[in-house]
Amino acid sequence: NAGVTQTPKFQVLKTGQSMTLQCAQDMNHEYMSWYRQDPGMGLRLIHYSVGAGITDQGEVPNGYNVSRSTTEDFPLRLLSAAPSQTSVYFCASSFDRNSPLHFGNGTRLTVT
Amino acid sequence: QQQVKQSPQSLIVQKGGIPIINCAYENTAFDYFPWYQQFPGKGPALLIAIRPDVSEKKEGRFTISFNKSAKQFSLHIMDSQPGDSATYFCAAAPPSARQLTFGSGTQLTVLP
């Protein structure tokens, strides 16, 4: 049972490039979400999903896309990277609304 | 607009001291208040959580105090240890969903 696995751990992009951050969980959790963590701002919700085929926007969705084709995977796509997207990105999952969120170990993204 | 305000930003205590971290929220619909602990290079992990029907919850050396009328809650760490040195985040969620709103975090250092 690996929990929530995020890849890659580190990534450097140039402005305008696109990429996908991967997130997978093996706990059969219905709820998955993406947060970004910036100094002094805590974690802010980007997108979330309550089940396969269902996604919705969080607090800071602009510049990011998500899809949920399977229960296990919830990739986050940066369409055209900007320096403002330099951050640490965390994926999290939970079984249901009464269960705690399990976080991955994050992807540190730098956009130059 | 920051819906969950956390203070202090950083805190240094001696081993055995009782650090206290405070959070205040604005949304009266919030009904779930967890605290997360994060070590460098790792994702946040649930430490303890409380719902507004109780005023205090204790798990080991960690205690949450909750004041519904003041819309405030706090984390107390009894007999703090150097291993407790980490960043602590408070959070809140409404009853309708699992989307957490996080505070800005407190970096705790416990000196040996």
Per-residue pLDDT tens over the stretch A26-82: 999 999 999 999 988 889 999 999 999 999 999 999 999 999 999 999 999 999 999
Contacts of A29 in chain B (CB under 8 A): none
Stretches where chain B sits below pLDDT 50 are none
Model confidence pLDDT, tens digit, residues B24-48? 999 988 989 999 999 999 999 999 9
* CB within 8 Å: B98 and A96: yes
* CB within 8 Å: A90 and B45: no
Dihedral sign, CA of B90, A94, A6, B40?
positive
Contacts of B105 in chain A (CB under 8 A): 40, 42
Residue from B32, B88, B99 to probe the interface with A (highest A Cβ count within 10 Å): B99
- Higher pLDDT among residues B93 and A87, named by residue: A87
Nearest C-alpha in A relative to B47: A100
Residues 6+ apart with CB under 8 A from A91: A4, A6, A21, A23, A25, A32, A33, A34, A35, A74, A76, A103, A104
Tokens of B62: 């960690």
CA A18, CA A80: separation in Å to the nearest integer?
5
pLDDT at B1: 53
Taking only residues 43 to 102 of chain A, the set having a beta carbon closer than 8 angstroms to any beta carbon of chain B reads 43-45, 48, 50, 58-59, 90, 92, 94, 96-97, 100-101
CA B49, CA A29: separation in Å to the nearest integer?
20
* CB within 8 Å: A43 and B44: yes
